[in-house]
């Protein structure tokens, strides 16, 4: 089953960009949802995006706001901060392939933590997340604004 999911994750699927900010965008196995009205968390006026992919019984998450970014793997019965990997928002805001690699490496560490500490299937470590998917997620989440700052 996981092998089939890995093939699907590696498939060449172009993002389906939509105009409705409440409708998720499909990028390969990922669903990207952005709130550009300053209501991502519902209380702090910061714009943000979250990408989720359900693979092998776990949920992979890449979250990026105007003020923070992180990856995590959500495994049922495991603490929500297990495998939490923070990313530099400054590095993600710079164009180029390094930002894709940063997200890839953070996802690898999150997956390893899910396997080592939460009992996730070891085959999950063989998951291939396409560079193109990460690039599309980053592109879709570029330009986020912190509405708490003057001039935002």
What pLDDT was estimated at residue 2? 42
Domains of the chain: total:
1
51 in the Ramachandran plot: left (φ > 0), alpha (ψ -120 to 50) or beta? beta
Strands (E), 9-101: 25-27, 30-35, 48-55, 58-65, 69-74, 85-87
Q: How many helices (H) and strands (E) does the chain have?
A: 4, 6
Q: Domain for residue 56, yes or no?
A: yes
- Summarize the confidence of residues 18-25 as an average pLDDT: 60
Q: Domain for residue 151, yes or no?
A: no
Residue 56 belongs to domain spanning? 2-140
Model pLDDT for residues 74-115, shown as the tens digit of each residue: 998 888 788 899 999 999 999 999 999 999 999 999 999 999
How far apart are the C-alpha atoms of 2 and 109, rounded to whole Å? 19
Q: Are 43 and 57 in contact (CB under 8 A)?
A: no
Q: Domain for residue 146, yes or no?
A: no
User: Which comes out higher in pLDDT, residue 83 or 70?
Assistant: 70
């Amino acid at each position: 089953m996981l092998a089939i999911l890995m093939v699907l994750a590696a498939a060449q699927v172009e993002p389906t960009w939509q105009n409705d900010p409440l409708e998720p965008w499909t990028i390969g196995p990922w669903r990207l949802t952005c709130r550009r009205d300053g209501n991502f968390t519902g209380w702090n006026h910061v714009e943000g995006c979250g990408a989720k992919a359900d693979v092998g019984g776990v949920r992979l998450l890449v979250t990026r706001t105007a003020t923070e970014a992180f990856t995590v793997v959500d495994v049922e019965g495991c603490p929500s901060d297990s495998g939490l990997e923070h990313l530099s928002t400054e590095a993600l805001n710079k164009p180029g392939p390094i930002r894709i690699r940063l997200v890839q490496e953070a996802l690898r560490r999150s997956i390893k933590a899910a396997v080592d500490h939460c009992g996730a299937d070891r085959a999950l470590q063989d998951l291939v997340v396409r560079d193109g998917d990460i690039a599309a997620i980053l592109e879709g989440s570029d330009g986020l604004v912190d509405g708490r700052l003057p001039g935002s």
